[in-house]
Structure 1
Amino acid sequence: MKTDGVYVDTVGAYIPDRWVSVEQAVEEGLYDEFSVQYGTGLTAAYIADDLPALDMAVSAARQAFRRSAVEVDDLDFHVHCTAVQHGPEGFYAPGYVLRELGASGVPSTDVRQHSNGLLAGIEIAVGQLTGAAGAENALVTAAENFTSPLIDRWTGFGTGFTASDGGAAVLLSGQGGFAAVRAVNSGTLPELEQWHRGEESLLPFRGEDRKASSTMELLSYFNLHVMPLDKCMEMIHDFELNVVHRSLVDAGLNAADLRWVVAANSDSRMIDQTKMQPLGLPMSRSTWDFGKEYGHMGACDMAVSLNHLLLNGMLSPGDHILMTTSASGWVSTSAVLTILEIPAWARKQPVS
């Protein structure tokens, strides 16, 4: 989908103060030495303890508004993205964010696409900004707190991830901003839906003892009983590359034109083999080098990385950025941005 007249006005990010290195996690028996020696390159996880994910989303949104000339009262649309449950069953997360911001009467939606959520939310917001809704601005928020007995942040998502807590926000505008959204495309590969479900029941929780979720157990079941891993990876490669190519074509760009490729913060080899090599680009054009320090914050990675690039003087007007994510389902979204200017709030000394 080629997009015209859609801009990134501001971004916001919330990173908890407390972090645990992989070495400390190994010492405490939380992470295994093999994963470190295996060479994932991941260095730490940020931990929010008892701070709710939604409060981090609100903090990130407030920062985005402080950086913008748009007032909260002028907000036209809101999308919130989740990977894990953000409150009691039946609870509506976007309503909490909007209430805390003081944005009453704003239409909203909840996107549950896990790591793919922020880009999926941007795609929805583009429709509001360019379609019949006639919105002038839209807020997309995301946040995660993986501190839960049902989640193992160190090994529950496989050796390629350390799950970090954090919040993020992207404020989009139809009037202007520091970056133009050139294209957004997405797709679903339903043949792999069961990959992240295994043999689990589709019925709601019935009261039996619940255990911590293990993505690796679900994947292993699917690969053993339904489809081998090499076939899954082949399908994902072709599917995701097609989504990316559609966005590049819509933006009128070649892969060589990209200054940065922003992918989910994960194992360096995963990013290299699934994102960079298919595009013929070196890892030096990926955001992995600092993403490994943050860990994987679910849908937040895209905005957190963009915030980092801006605050650390790593962007210039004219730079093209590809953002690409995927998640269980199997869903994938890609977006292409072009930097128009460096906003005033980002013209400061580098920060970590």
Structure 2
Amino acid sequence: MKINGVFIDSLGVHLPEWVASAEAEGASDYARGEFAAAGLKGTHVAGDVPAADMAVLAARSAVTRSSAQLEAIDYHVHGSVYYQVPEGAYAPAYVLRELGAGEIPSLDVQQGCNSMLGGLEAAIGQVTGVAKRNNVLITTATNFSTPLINRWGDFGTSSIFSDGAVAAVVNGRGGFAEVRSLASGTLHSLEQWHRGEESLLPPDGSDRKYFNMGERSQYFVDNVMGFAELFEKFGKFDLGIINEAIVDAGLTSEEISKVISINVDKRMTEHALMRPLGIPMDRLVWEYGSSVGHAGGADIFITLEHAVRTGELVPGDHVLMTSQGPGWVCSATVLTIGELPAW
């Protein structure tokens, strides 16, 4: 969809302690070698700092940098990836209470690694629709520090799970970036890819099963759909979504100045994204993200914040951002950088 009059006013990031992939405890020598070949330099580990608390820290930073005061925030979208709060509790309410925000409406977007773009899509509707919200806060955070997950190997060696948080303030008045378009979709024929053979029934009282996304994915490949068909399906689907976003922005792929995608093996991004779009690899904003790790839905906005703050993005740049999540969901947005913010 073509977007008019929606802007990203500010961004806030919180990243905990950094750990180099070459020095990772729990990673095999083979995995370390594969990370090096993929260009993945490290990740961030939060330890006993909850994801929801990191979301609060990122939100405080975003609000401090925003042209709006905290009391002017009138809607909140939180993206849940992995564990946020105990079952039956509500993560957005925790974030808002800790932040000291007003008693405003909120939404929990459970789109996994697509959660920030899913949140942006919801925010666009709130700003441009009948609600006419003034300032929408979007947050997401992850903490994979649990014995139930091996961040160094549970999803192969094409990415490393990372802990961290990001927040954005979106409005209809102005900001450093204008949202030109956003496209999204759900390829539900791949829903079982991230579910595997897990039961849909409530827990039966037995010990919680080790959370291994790689095992679920392998079950799907072995029993439902082979690799070749799987990659063909989601590759074609993702490129359709991305091209829709570019066209709706009134641009061509040649006019895209920079591309920001999730933090995975650079070779995968080149073959699955950049080459099919005909965009040179030197337009991929990747170097910083290669040391951040894959922090769920936060990746692309963490990279955006860094690229704006360090001057890698400049006024006039057209930026394509894309992410994916379980389901299989994919979203893409095109931003135009209007100015460099004070921060």
Show structure 2 runs of 5+ residues with no match. none
**Distance in 2 of aligned mates of 1:193 and 1:259:** 33
**Distance in 1 of aligned mates of 2:33 and 2:47:** 28
Contact in 1 for aligned 2:31/2:153 (Cα 8 Å): no
- Show the 5 A alignment for 1:145-184: 145-184=143-182
Match of 2:322 among 318, 321, 324: 324
Paired residue type of 2:296: G
Contact in 1 for aligned 2:83/2:142 (Cα 8 Å): no
Q: Match for residue 307 of structure 2?
A: 309
| CA shift digits 1:235-255 (9 cap, x unpaired) | 111100010011111100111
Q: Match for residue 85 of structure 1?
A: 83
**Distance in 2 of aligned mates of 1:63 and 1:182:** 25
**Distance in 2 of aligned mates of 1:286 and 1:206:** 46
Q: Match for residue 24 of structure 1?
A: 23
| CA shift digits 1:23-68 (9 cap, x unpaired) | 111xx3x112223333121111111111111111111111111111
- Show the 5 A alignment for 1:74-223: 74-223=72-221
Q: Match for residue 44 of structure 2?
A: 46
**Distance in 1 of aligned mates of 2:50 and 2:98:** 13
Bigger shift: 124-133 or 219-228?
219-228
**Distance in 2 of aligned mates of 1:222 and 1:228:** 8
**How far has the Cα of 1:283 moved from its partner?**
2.3
Bigger shift: 314-323 or 282-291?
282-291
Paired residue type of 1:7: F
Paired residue type of 2:27: Y
| CA shift digits 1:184-243 (9 cap, x unpaired) | 110000000011111111112212222321112111111111111110100111100010
Contact in 2 for aligned 1:20/1:45 (Cα 8 Å): yes
Contact in 2 for aligned 1:7/1:172 (Cα 8 Å): yes
Bigger shift: 229-238 or 211-220?
211-220
Query: SS at the partner of 1:289?
Result: coil
Contact in 2 for aligned 1:111/1:120 (Cα 8 Å): yes
| CA shift digits 1:283-315 (9 cap, x unpaired) | 221122211111111111121101110111111
Contact in 2 for aligned 1:152/1:212 (Cα 8 Å): no
Q: Percent identity?
A: 47
**How far has the Cα of 1:147 moved from its partner?**
0.4
**Distance in 2 of aligned mates of 1:228 and 1:336:** 33
Q: Match for residue 335 of structure 2?
A: 337
**Distance in 2 of aligned mates of 1:210 and 1:284:** 44
**Distance in 1 of aligned mates of 2:148 and 2:32:** 23
Contact in 1 for aligned 2:18/2:42 (Cα 8 Å): yes
Paired residue type of 2:225: M
RMSD: 1.1
- Show the 5 A alignment for 1:226-241: 226-241=224-239
**Distance in 2 of aligned mates of 1:208 and 1:302:** 37
Show structure 1 runs of 5+ residues with no match. 346-352
Paired residue type of 1:31: A
**Distance in 1 of aligned mates of 2:113 and 2:285:** 16
TM-score, length-scaled by structure 2: 0.97
Contact in 2 for aligned 1:6/1:129 (Cα 8 Å): yes
**Distance in 1 of aligned mates of 2:141 and 2:152:** 18
- Show the 5 A alignment for 1:200-279: 200-279=198-277
Q: Are positions 1:33 and 2:29 aligned together? A: yes
Contact in 1 for aligned 2:46/2:143 (Cα 8 Å): yes
Paired residue type of 2:29: E
**How far has the Cα of 1:103 moved from its partner?**
1.4
Instruction: Tell me the matched-pair count.
Output: 341
